[in-house]
Homo-oligomer: A and B are copies of this chain.
Amino acid sequence: MLITKSQVKYIQSLGHKKFRDAEGVFVVEGPKITGELLGAPNMRLRAAYGLREWIAALSPALLQRLDERTTGLLGGERRITEVGPIELQRLSALSTPNQVVAVFEKPVFPDPLWTTGLYVVLDGLQDPGNLGTIVRLADWFGVDGVLCSPDSADVFNPKAVQSTMGSVSRVPVWYGDPEAVIRHSLGMPVWAALLQGESLYGQQRIRQGFIVIGNESKGIGLAIQELATHRITIPRTGEAESLNAAVATGIILSHLVGWGKPDGANGGGRV
């Protein structure tokens, strides 16, 4: 089946935040993440354009569920459209398209009260890949969600979504003013990852509070730094000037919240 110019234009427009926000949808590419999101109970597919082999590999059970849970793109079209390699290339933002381009509705999560629970707070994090990787980490470590300052990257940016590896369906990501949230949290502890803080090692395990990660080059803004109840640093034994923000988040989470269950009890995933 041929795709129309307006379909191509629509999909391409979703590379821009403005259009994603207006439509309430986002794009993913590739069978792995598309399959994960198709299987997630809270996700709704708008449309998927896939090669014959991708469609053939979908299970009948999944296809039936799709009928019940999908809504039409541009009104009343088929949910899953078979396309050829040349059409897929036109729809894809990748230099090497990967079997399928899919449009999902953004998942909706209720706002928390912010007076209990464990949250990662991102203050001006810029790189979409870092953001997606941090959402995946929050999922791994069972964090209750990620609060992003308004100047942070958009989690529905194609690179960010891709980096979540499907965790975007499970981990709430909110955009809001971290300073206001922290001030209204009734004294939840705030752990700020800083240049000059106490060593991360030897800290007690935490069960609730905010773990704040700053901008890749400027770090955490002063207003939020002043709200920190704990200032922590990953000790350096070598010479690199800094660590990647997502890697730093992973290290901090593993030391502060990763000790949840006794050794071996968690199974663990591929690393």
Q: List 27 A-B contacts (CB under 8 A).
A: A137-B244, A138-B238, A140-B236, A140-B238, A140-B239, A140-B243, A142-B237, A142-B238, A167-B240, A170-B239, A193-B271, A196-B267, A197-B268, A201-B263, A214-B271, A233-B268, A235-B260, A235-B261, A241-B269, A241-B270, A243-B250, A244-B250, A245-B271, A246-B246, A247-B250, A251-B251, A251-B258
- Judging by beta carbons under 8 Å apart, are B260 and A234 in contact? no
This chain: copies in complex: 2
Q: Which residue of B lies closest to A219 (CB)?
A: B270
- Judging by beta carbons under 8 Å apart, are A238 and B139 in contact? yes
- Judging by beta carbons under 8 Å apart, are A202 and B236 in contact? no
Query: In the complex, A242→B233 CA distance in Å?
Result: 25
A248 close to chain B: CB less than 8 A = yes
Query: Which of A's residues lie within 8 Å of B, judged by CB?
Result: 129, 133, 136-143, 163, 165-167, 170, 193-202, 213-214, 217, 219, 233-248, 250-252, 254-255, 257-261, 263-271
CB-CB under 8 A from A242, the residues of chain B are 165, 269-271
- A202, A240, A254, A261: most-surrounded residue (chain B CB, <10 A): A240
The 8 Å CB contact of A235, one of B219, B238, B268, is B268
Query: In the complex, A78→B24 CA distance in Å?
Result: 53
CB-CB under 8 A from A239, the residues of chain B are 139-140, 142, 167, 170
CB-CB under 8 A from A219, the residues of chain B are 270-271
